[in-house]
Structure 1
Amino acid sequence: MRRISKMAERKKITKKTLAKSFHHWYYGHLTCFSQEHMQTFGYLTSMLPIVEELYKDKAEQKEAMQTYTAFFNTEPQLGALVVGITAGLEEARANGDAVDGETINGMRAGLMGPIAGIGDSLVVGTLIPVLLGIALGLSKGGNPIGALFYILVWNVLIYGGMRFAYFKGYELGDKAVEFLVGPQGQAIRKSVSIVGGMVIGAVAATWVPVKTAFQLKDSSGKAFLVMQDQLDGVYPGLLTALFIVFCWWLMAKKNFSPIKVMLILVVVAFVGVLVGFFNPGLKY
């Protein structure tokens, strides 16, 4: 009887509070974002409803919230999984289980990297380029359907995906940690990275065509060598591939920001037009 009574008294987070916590993360994961704290304040905001429901004493609430003042940064969409796991661990701590602040922070720190690796490849490297590719195709001729398609589909997919990740994390609790940081998680990160690279390559080849207007002409003004035709005969899309690799090299190896890379491309295009290597009127 005592055991049954003790189980009945266990604290349980209500679905309403979990939904509130999720929406705080969904809307505020980059709240007060800074280089010092990154997503820390968004995390605090999402955990506030959980802590307020589990602990009625203000001192206990303050002590619990101190756990979430530590630095946190990951891919925010898939990062909802970490917040859900944390909610489950906080519930266990409130019920006196063998979970403390150090355990929770250790879990958060351990999952930041793996979640970022999977999320960046899956969301930024795969989903966004695919949606943008479709939207660009629909936007030809100034059609607004492309923009509306991207806004609608992105928000529907991300909201549904983040909500599923949050509640699945709460359901699995610390069981998800072993899966994400173990061999299976490493295999997932590697496979998603490969797929993401393939998608980026396909989108770049389709929407970033780079061609040259360089020609050699005889004394009569007739072109006897068109460089673009020669390149297409050997390696179609060679200039596009070189430009993409060049941009990747600047950002990945030289740590150039995207803005600096775009400025460099503007200079390259300007000089290329001046020397006749590019033609501003050339239709791609």
Structure 2
Amino acid sequence: METTQNTGSKKLDKKTLSHSFNLWFWGALTCFSQEHMQTFGYMSSMLPILRKLYPKHDDQVEAIQAYTAFFNTNPMLGSVIVGITASMEEARSNGKEIQGDTINDMRAGLMGPIAGIGDSLIDGTLIPILLGIALGMSTDGSPIGAIFYIIVWVLLAYFGQRFLYFRGYSLGDKAVGFLVGKQGAAVRYAISIVGSMVVGGVLASWVNVTTSLKLHGANGKVFLDLQDKIDSIFPGLLTVIITLFCWWLMSRKHVSAIWTMLILVVISFVGVLCGFFDPGLSY
């Protein structure tokens, strides 16, 4: 490839990098499928980079081949990989001994660690914290909580990903050693613990499953209030059972979150019909 033999000083400008980042932010899941996942979104984000570094069309076609391989990671933190790639592609266009296979190996090596950190930090920690705050602001049907969540999430998602993208570009391949090394493993482990604590806190604060089942005697008086009996033995037992049931469905049986919610709706509907649950509705 002619451009890799040059010893020039090609440099990506901020406009090109911003264009690349915006394509990743808005299109990371473009043409998403089980076969390709985020491959096409990644390729799209690299197009401005390749056009800037390789003026010749044939060189662009050759360079893009490194990004046709399967790619999938956490889309939020995945922007750091795109930034690292842009830095490595810049070095390759300036004659450094970096091949397409080297870039592809780097991408493949970072997919797992970034997914582990991102899923624990974003899905397991940040989102539950924001939802907990939003729920607290939504008491009595106030829309402030929903507005708060939408605005804060969008701002954090955009500027957080942008920071990671440019940080990855500035560090280049130096970031790879940290993300896949012992320090990266320690960070992933610590974040997973914090994420579990946050999810547990949200569960204890906002999930409350109770039963309204009461047994009446011949005189019409209640002789067994099931919820009172449960509270005297194990407060929150039904909440724990439902939580473990959802965990079992999604973790052990690999049931999707959507199907799990539908199953809970069916359980709730049947429970109301049987008198086990009382939604407190008046008609």
TM-score of the aligned structures, taking structure 1 as reference length: 0.92
Counterpart of 1:177 in structure 2 is 176
Pair 1:250–1:31, CA change in 2 (3 A): same
TM-score normalised by L of structure 2: 0.92
Q: Could you tell me how far 1:161 is from its partner in structure 2?
A: 0.9
Q: How far apart are the structure 2 equivalents of 1:217 and 1:281? A: 20
For residues 235 and 73 of structure 2, what CA distance do their matches in structure 1 show?
38
Task: Give, as a single letter, the amino acid of the residue that structure 1 aligns with 2:246.
Answer: C
Task: Tell me the alpha carbon deviations over residues 210-257 of structure 1, each in whole angstroms, 9 at most, x when there is no partner.
Answer: 001122333322223322122223332221111011011101100112
Instruction: State the alpha-carbon separation in 2 of the partners of residues 11 and 235 from structure 1.
Output: 68
Residue aligning to 1:271: 270
Whether 1:84 and 2:107 are equivalent positions in the alignment is no
SS in 2 for 1:280: coil
Task: Work out whether residues 205 and 241 of structure 1, in 8 Å CA contact, stay in contact via their aligned partners in 2.
Answer: no
Residues in 2 aligned to 1:230 and 1:180: alpha-carbon distance in whole angstroms? 51
Residue 225 of structure 1: SS of its match in structure 2? strand
The CA distance in 2 between the partners of 1:24 and 1:271, in whole Å, is 46
- Is 1:262 matched up with 2:245? no
Within 5 Å, which residues of 2 pair with 1:131-170? 131-170=130-169
2:11 is matched with which residue?
Answer: 12
1:95 aligns with 2:94: yes
User: How far apart are residue 99 of structure 1 and its match?
Assistant: 0.8
Unaligned runs of 5+ in 2: 1-5
- CA–CA distance in structure 1, aligned partners of residues 33 and 148 of structure 2: 31
Match of 1:24 in 2: 23
Q: What is aligned with 2:129? A: 130
Q: Which residue in the other structure is 1:3 paired with?
A: none
Unaligned runs of 5+ in 1: 1-5
Cα deviations across residues 11-41 of structure 1 (Å, max 9, x unaligned)?
1111111111111111111112122111111
Instruction: Tell me which amino acid in the other structure corresponds to 1:63.
Output: E
Deviation for aligned residue 1:167:
0.8
> Residues 51-62 of structure 1 correspond to what in structure 2 (within 5 A)?
51-62=50-61
Deviation at 1:265, TM superposition (A): 1.5
Specify the SS of the correspondent of 1:150: helix
One-letter amino acid of the structure 2 residue matched with residue 144 of structure 1: P
Aligned to 2:185: 186
* CA drift at 1:189: 1.0
Maintained 8 Å contact 1:273/1:279: yes
- Deviation by residue 1:159-199 (Cα, 9 ceiling, x = unmatched): 12101111111111111111111111111111111111121
* Deviates further, 170-179 or 100-109: 170-179
Residue 50 (1) aligns with residue 27 (2): no
Match of 1:209 in 2: 208
Divergent runs of 4+, >3 A: 216-219
Distance 1:270 1:143 in 2: 26
- Name the SS of the counterpart of 2:224 in structure 1: strand
How large is the RMSD of aligned CA atoms in angstroms?
1.8
Q: 1:75-111 CA deviation, whole Å, 9 max, x = no partner?
A: 0010001000101110111111121110100010111
Distance in 2 between residues matched to 1:217 and 1:194, nearest whole Å: 46
Deviation at 1:132, TM superposition (A): 1.5
Deviations, residues 47-77 of structure 1 (Å, cap 9, x unaligned) = 1111111111111111111111111111001
